[in-house]
Amino acid sequence: MTDEAVEVLRLLTGRGETLAVAESLTGGLVAAELVAVPGASKALRGSVTAYATELKHQLLGVDADLLAEYGAVHPDVALQMAAGVREALGADWGIATTGVAGPEPQDGQPVGTVYVAAVGPGASVAKGTRNFAGSRKVLELRLNGERMEIRRESVRSVLGLLTEELVGGHSGERTENARAQDTEQNGGF
């Protein structure tokens, strides 16, 4: 169990809000970190691991044209995954991870390209567009390291993003995650 998971659940429980998780490259690691915290069921509704691209559309409602044009490793895919799991599981917040953990590039993206997203109350994500409203944010990460290091940092980053949203109530623009820009020097964490 990580400090990030403990903090996310503490904040959600304190606000009386719930969370749903959509994962691709992390393959269930985000949900596992959350359920390791005693009392997680007070806030965690559930998770969907949509590892295959077509499942992102079928289970989470990600726009099929977006997936066909850009593949699964795209900021709008991350946002739509977060919005889709939030809706599907009836949660106040949805978070998502999508990216390339390696060992090979995917969808024209190099290993270490990751997008993490959080979508919360009042948010809507118009399918097939870049028009987003309400509480939502996506981070682009460029991670270095081995496959497991990339996956672990993706977990930390999505939980950190949600913590920032819960504490600061920020919504808006895509940003770069400066902390994750050079993870090779600090062992991927």
On average, the pLDDT of the chain sits at: 87
Each residue's pLDDT tens digit, 13-70 = 999 999 999 999 999 999 999 999 999 999 999 999 999 999 999 999 999 999 999 9
- Res. 137 pLDDT band, cuts 50 70 90: very high
Q: Over range 128-140, report the average pLDDT.
A: 67
Residue the block writes with tokens 């726009």: 63
What is the per-residue pLDDT for 99?
98
Domain extent listing, the chain: 3-180
Q: What CATH number matches the domain at 3-180, 3.40.462.10, 2.130.10.30, 3.40.50.720, 3.90.950.20? A: 3.90.950.20
Nearest to 91 by CA among 31, 145, 151, 144: 31
The neighbour count for residue 187, using CB atoms within 10 Å, is 11
Whose structure tokens read 């995650």?
177
Q: What is the pTM of this model?
A: 0.86
**Cα separations in angstroms, 158 against 42, 54, 68, 165:** 20, 22, 25, 11
The pLDDT of residue 125: 56
Consecutive H or E run containing 96: strand 93-99
Question: What is residue 88's predicted lDDT score, i.e. its pLDDT?
Answer: 97
How far does Cα 113 stand from its chain's mean position? 13
How do residues 70-122 score in pLDDT, each as one tens digit? 999 999 999 999 999 999 999 999 999 999 999 999 989 999 999 999 999 87
Average pLDDT score over residue span 162-186: 54
pLDDT of residue 2: 87
Evaluate if residue 130 carries a pLDDT over 80: no
Give the DSSP letter of residue 41. Answer: G
How confident is residue 134, by pLDDT bands cut at 50, 70 and 90? low
How far lies 81's CA from each of 54, 90, 158, in Å?
A: 12, 14, 13
